[in-house]
Structure 1
Amino acid sequence: MKNKPKKKIVFFSSKIDSGGAEKHLVRLINALASKSNLELTLIVTVAGGNYESLLNQNIRLIPLLNQSGSYTASMVKAFLLLKKKIKEIQPDLIFSIQDGPNVVMLMRTFFSNIPVLIGVQNNPIIDLNRTPITRAIKWIATKLYPRAKHMISLSSGVASDYLHLIPKLQGKITVVPNVGWPETVKPKEDVVYEKPVQLLAVGRLEEQKDYATFFNALALLKQKNQSFKLTILGRGAKEAELKRLSLKLDLNDDIEFKGFTSDVSTYFYNSDIFVLSSKWEGFGNVIVEAMAHGLPVISSDCPHGPSEIIENRKNGLLFEVGNAMQLSEYIQELTQNELLRKELMVNGLERANMYKPEKIAERYYKIFDEFLCVE
């Protein structure tokens, strides 16, 4: 009896470079590569992303463009090139992720019989109202998203927002959290904090991440003679502005901007407390990554994601968005309360285990299976 042909799945994304959605996608595809009945292809708009080196060698990677222009220009060019690639591969199912690629793929496959599933990764009420371009994507999404066979949302909050925005999606959304468990991880053991306390933040230097609130919290700690060192991993448009703010708050010697790095694990392991100060999120991969490394986590209780991962004062601490005073108090409490610190570390590690690649990939596989009829 001949072996049945493998089912072909095409994944479509923008450049897999530095974002949480792209990291999740790479981890997901790598985990699905263990399925012997699947043939996986990842199409990206632009070649050369930082996460390409993490891809399993059995996954076919197809960049549509070799050089990156603006995000909008890349998407327009991708639209023109996609049809040929899809025709060559003849996939049994397509899964695209994030609103820009989702819109492009749904337009490109408008008259196709190939089932297209879409993944959403951020808050549409906030994230798609930032610029004229994102507002245009939002409008197009309201028209096209109901044509998708199914939507996978990374959090219940984001799913609820999309249902509010596009009521026709009722019954077509499944919530599956992101793969948050890191590629390599060695949970640290509790140690008595030495001075200065090592704080870590990971995320783009953009308005969304609200580093200004974090800096103001640090200024309050400094007034109490609390010694600390903050390392920030990320790059973005707000870098110059944030460096000016750190100078204004007399924090220039206490904050180190390290830019983007693929070796995040080393920084997790060498830190004492992880802080996420965002105004909004879709999920918060870095929360899970920090927990997996055994770090106690403090996060803003922003829409959406953190409160779906963190149970306040059990496996992490949640502070009110923009509340620098509360954040400063939580940092000080963790440095002084060894019992709480250990409880957050142990429970956080247990929580992080729920987001391992094989567990999340199996949930995606079951959804794909409904449209592939994989036996």
Structure 2
Amino acid sequence: MESWLMDSRHIAIFANSLRLGGAERVALNLANGFANTGHNVDLVLVSEQGELLSEVDESVSVVDLGAERVLRSLAPLRGYLSTHRPDVVISIGAHVNLVSVWGRLTTMASPTLLLTEHSIMKRMPDERKASLMKVLARVFYPLSDCVVAVSQGVLDELRSEVGYRGNAEVVYNPIVSEQLLRDAEEPLEHPWFDSKTPVVLGAGRLAPEKDFPTLIRAFDRLTEKRDARLVITGAGPERDTLEQLVKSRGLEESVEFAGFVDNVYKYMSNADVFVLSSLNEGFGMVIAEALACGTPVVSTDCPSGPAEILADGKYGSLVPVGDADQLSTAIDNMLANPTPEVVTRERAAAFSVESVIENYERVIEEL
């Protein structure tokens, strides 16, 4: 598929690595998406490693800067920019953004530079790091041509908390790919998903910001009304604490921690409802992924992506953060009256790789 919005460009996508993660998946989908629309694409990595490398399209050139850390990639990035002279550089994530700005400042190359911002800085767990990142962003982000925020909430915070006053656009993450849809169709061999008892699914890093305790407490209340099971995929430091919470409530027979799974989409497509219980999100990619799998969604109305993705409740239920009672009620209601699959997939189309690539092309053409 060729682009009809702009002529072919030499585009560099600059990211840390291709380990499994949200930002890494975004880098992969952008690289493949631009390549599939006829652009000459380099996927420039601080370190060429990660499970997603196998999914890079054969038409994309992977450039390994061979650095151990992001900040140590400045010298090899300068070499890359001077030698390859891309027309456009799109950097993925705060630390990579800074190195991208410094790289362009210190070479004769002058590519159009887009910085993508994915997170809410004031909610970083390390307050000193958050304060430093705000200062650095305030000084260096305006030296780019445009900052692309993945949600309106992230852009609002850049304006209000960081004080960024430069050029900026909101472009959602490229999430729905042909690979995701193929993965969602893979068979899932799990007895819970073959029974008539509904399955509630949670997915994400088992960390405080995901607030899985509220999901478990909500599920406990749900089991007082109906038979159900809860599956949580993902790994992280909170697993032992969460398992103790499940045990203390006598839910061992109806809650499973599946750990890391290499294909979460087949879980999503077979679940009766997907639940996001987070305290905060930069975007909330898993919500869009679940919608693409045709799965009804219940989410906390946390900053700063779920309300945008679900259009203030049009495409799924939103409940207050940390409210187990309301979360339980919303899950129960969604199981009784699920959002039609045609509706969830309709909304997911806004986050397709093709749609997002078109939006990036518009931004680039307007610079």
TM-score by length of 1: 0.86
Is the partner of 1:65 in helix, strand or coil?
Answer: coil
Match for residue 4 of structure 2? Answer: none
State whether structure 2 residue 124 is matched by structure 1 residue 119.
no
Supply the AA of the counterpart residue of 1:266: K
- Aligned-residue sequence identity (percent) comes to 28
1:92 aligns with 2:94: no
User: Counterpart of 1:204?
Assistant: 205
2:54 match: 53
- Per-residue displacement from partner, 1:309-355 (whole Å, max 9, x unpaired)? 114553210011101111111122223x2xx31x4433222111122
Distance 1:351 1:87, change over 3 A: same
The residue matched to 1:91 in structure 2 has which SS? coil
* CA distance, structure 2, for counterparts of residue 233 and residue 195 of structure 1: 21
What is the alpha-carbon distance in structure 2 between the residues aligned to residue 239 and residue 64 of structure 1?
A: 35
Q: Name the structure 2 match of 1:69.
A: none
CA-to-aligned-CA distance 1:249-300 (integer Å, 9 cap, x gap): 3233322222333312211122111001111111112111111111110011
CA distance in structure 2 between the partners assigned to 1:159 and 1:145 by the alignment: 13
Give the 5 Å matches for 1:151-230: 151-170=147-166, 172-182=167-177, 183-185=179-181, 195-222=196-223, 224=224, 226-230=226-230
8 Å contact 2:315–2:343 — kept in the other structure? yes
Structure 2 unaligned spans of 5+: 1-6, 186-192
- 1:79–1:251 distance in 2 versus 1, CA, 3 Å: farther
Partner of 1:15: 17
Structure 1 residue runs without a partner (length 5+): 67-72
Structure-2 separation of matches of 1:301 and 1:344: 21
For residues 116-150 of structure 1, the C-alpha deviation after alignment (integer angstroms, 9 at most, x for no partner) is 210011122323x6353343223211211111110
**Residues 221 and 328 in structure 2, CA contact (< 8 A), matched pair in contact too:** yes
Question: What aligned pairs does 1:13-52 form with structure 2 within 5 A after superposition?
Answer: 13-36=15-38, 38-52=39-53
- The answer to whether the Cα contact below 8 Å between 1:145 and 1:169 also exists between their aligned partners in 2 is no
| Equivalent position amino acid for 2:101 in 1 | L
- CA change 1:240–1:136 in 2 (3 A) is farther
Greater Cα offset, 109-118 or 353-362 = 109-118
Say whether the 8 Å CA contact 1:42–1:59 is kept in structure 2.
yes
Q: State the 1:159 CA deviation.
A: 0.7
Q: Out of 278-287 and 73-82, give the one that drifted further.
A: 73-82
For 2:46, what is the secondary structure of its paired residue?
strand
Question: How far apart are residue 195 of structure 1 and its match?
Answer: 4.3
Root mean square deviation, CA, Å:
2.4
The answer on whether the counterparts of 1:193 and 1:272 sit within 8 Å (CA) in structure 2 is no
* 1:70 alignment partner in structure 2: none
2:296 alignment counterpart: 296
- Alpha-carbon offset, residue 152 of structure 1: 0.7
3-state SS of 2:69 partner: helix
Deviation digits for residues 63-121 of structure 1 (CA, Å, limit 9, x no counterpart): 3338xxxxxx6123223432222223222221101111111222232234333210011
State the match for 2:77 in structure 1: 82
Distance 1:131 1:51, change over 3 A: farther
Q: Does 1:365 align with 2:361?
A: yes
* CA apart distance, 1:225: 5.5
Alignment partner, residue 102 of structure 2: 107
Structure 1 residues 6 and 363, CA, compared in 2 at 3 Å: closer, same or farther? closer
Distance of 2:128 and 2:227 partners within structure 1: 43
1:52 maps to a residue whose letter is: L
1:257 alignment counterpart: 257
* Farther-moved stretch of structure 1 (140-149 vs 19-28): 19-28
In the alignment, which residue of structure 2 is the partner of 1:243?
243
* Distance (whole Å) between structure 1 residues aligned to residue 69 and residue 152 of structure 2: 30
Tell me if structure 1 keeps the 8 A contact 2:138–2:164.
no
- Name the SS for the 2:73 alignment partner: helix
- Structure 1 counterpart of 2:43, which letter? L
Query: CA 1:231–1:90 in structure 2 vs 1: closer, same or farther (change >3 Å)?
Result: same
| Separation in structure 1 between the aligned mates of residue 173 and residue 222 of structure 2, nearest angstrom | 34
Q: 1:246 to 1:151 in 2, by over 3 A?
A: same
Number of aligned residue pairs: give it. Answer: 350
